[in-house]
Each structure stands twice: as structure tokens, then as C-alpha cells.
Amino acid sequence: MVGAKVPQRTALVLGGGGLKGFAHIGVLRALEERGIKPHVYAGTSIGSLIAAARVGGMSLGEMTDRALSLRKRDLFRINHMGMLLERMHSPSLYLEGPLRDLCAGVSPSGTFRDLPTPLLVNTVEVERGTRLVWGLPGLQDVPVVDAVYASCALPGFFPPGWVDGRSCVDGGTIDNLPTAIASVGMDAVIAVDVGSSELGRARDIASQGFAAIYMRAATVMMHALQQHALTDWQGPPMLLIRPRVGHRHWFSFTHTAEIIEAGYVAASAVLDQIGDALCAPSGIFPKRMVSLRVDRERCIGCGICVALAPRIMAFDDTGKAVVTSSPLQWSPADGDFVQECPTEAIVAESLDGSMRTTRPISEPTLHAADD
């Protein structure tokens, strides 16, 4: 295998995804083994937490130990008093304290201006309804821990965080993988998506309570927003790493070692085959050859695929969908329309045999109390 040739000015972007974000630790280990040192770190939610810990000098060993020792009681404590006295006016289901303590325990002290390596923490200002990326010029003189808490404050689950007098929540509300902002002035981007890449069919969501329904809806929303940004990517070359963690709950405390290893395996695989692709003018990598076909018996002619991918799909004389171009060279960001087919009639297969998909079935999205 040919190792990755990574430009010096490379941004590492770590996406949100609940505790599935522990896969970022495995990715960092793969980068460290190959001597790859990002010029800028950026993150949303747990991605910002791990990026902040890394910029602050925390070793991967300590990160792993902390992740393995984390338990539900360390993060989720129901806001009984608020729910009882304030009811619908309560700001959150869970108390702020445990999450803030977790953020304070791993985030570097001081402000963004004090950091040895640039760090960007993605949040959303609730009142204005716009993103605020702390660490950018003009947004550096605030405590890092305040921004990290706000980036992790999933709306409804935790109270908003106050950063420099602004009420902010989880940046995934707008942009779960802030590649565009992190890429400014960079020669390449390494992005790690753990939150919404494997949007398979979830079983029995409607019977699992409001938390599961809410998180499923949030995952679908984040996936659509993120996919739009990736489809129209015009920035520097991007290495998109998607660890196989989609089958795990957002807040599962019992599969941490597996999730960390999934990040390491996914990152190692692409870094060992990417070569000098990150020296290209633009594009999303790695790319592979994929063949497409339509199962005519399943196709109902609804036209969703034609509307979403008019350069690849069309109608035949009978009103059925057909593929106009195959095989295709696809990146991990391509082919999202395949999963949009309501009858799963479109089949995508990589020519090397590493991938075959219509719309995979995933495990339930969330149960904070499962573990």
C-alpha cells in the first residue's frame, strides 16, 4: 500500500454523533502512527470535545481510558425539578452539570487565543438562528470550555450554553461536519463523519418513545444538510472517512472499544490507499468504481431518482427508471439518491466487491437509558 501524502496545511474536521464520536480517537491514532499533524482542528458536538482535548495536549491513551470509563450516570441526570416546576418551560430533559463537568475535564483552560494549534468549535446561536464558529478571527477571546459545552448541548436534552453573552446549542443543528469553514486557507481537509453517514432503515422507531423519534428525525435532518454541502463541494481536496458505526446507538455506553477500533480501521484503510490524491486541486476521496442497476420489478416509476440524479438516471419508454451511465467513479459522498428509492429498486455495487447497497437496515437510533 502507498501511504497518504498529506499537505502541511491540512484541516482535521471531526463531526458530531453522540458517543459514536469515540471513533475519532481511533482516527487520531491512525493519523499519529503515520506522522500526520493537522494544521487546524475543527469539530461539532463530540467532535469539538475530542478536538479540544487533542489541541490541549491530551494523549490518545488518556482519551481512550476516559472514553472506556464513561458511564450513563456521568452524563445523563434527569432535570427532575425543572420538569416538575417548569414543565414545558424547562430548558432541557437533563441537567447541565454532568456534561459541563465532562467538557471542563478534557478541554484546555483559557481562551482560543491561548491555544498552541488553531481550534474551531461549531455552535448555533439560538436567538439569531445562525452558526457561530468559535476560534475564528474575532471569536477567539472566550473560554474554550464554554464553546465546547455549547457545541455538545443537544437541544432539548441539555440547556443551551452561554458563550460571550450568546445562547448557543449543538452546531449539528445547522452543520454537523463544518468542512467549508475549516477549509478556508487550507490545502486539504480530512473529515470524519460518524453521525449520519449510514442512514439505513431503523426498526420500530415509532414504538420507542419521543427520544428515539426525535433523534431519528435529527439524524435525517443532519444527513440531508451534510449531503447537500458535500455534493456541492468546491473546496480543497477532502479525504472523507466514515467509520462503520451507524448500527450503534448515539448514546451507547457498552460498545466504546468497538467504536474506537472502527475509527482506526476506517482511517487506516483510506490513508494507506489514498496516495497523493490530497494534492489534487479539489474533489472528495477516496474514489472507487461503482456499477448501478435498476430492479425493474421493484421500480414503480415515481421519478425520485431521476429528479435527484438527472445525469445518471432517466425514464425509459415504459416509465420505469433506467441508469444512463455505469460504471461510475464515486467518492463516499456520491450516490445518496440510491437510498431515496421508496422500493429499494436501485442497486449499487463496487467493482472491487467491497460495497453493495440499496438501503441498509440499521439498529434503533437512540435510547439514552439502554446502557
Based on the residue annotation, tell me whether 170 is a catalytic residue of this protein.
yes
Would residue 114 show up in a list of annotated catalytic residues for this protein? no
CB proximity list for 61: less than 8 A, separation 6 or greater: none
Catalytic residue among 170, 175, 334, 336: 170
SS (H, E, C) 271-291: HCCCCCHHHCCCCEECCEEEE
Cα atoms in the 13 Å half-sphere on the side-chain side of 328 = 17
State how far the Cα of 108 lies from the Cα of 54, in Å rounded to an integer.
Answer: 9
**CB-facing half-sphere around the CA of 334: CA atoms within 13 A:** 20
Three cell numbers, residue 358? 440499496
- Residue 73 burial (CB count, 10 A): 9
Burial of 132 (0-12, 13-18, 19+ CB in 10 A): buried
Active site amino acids: 45, 170
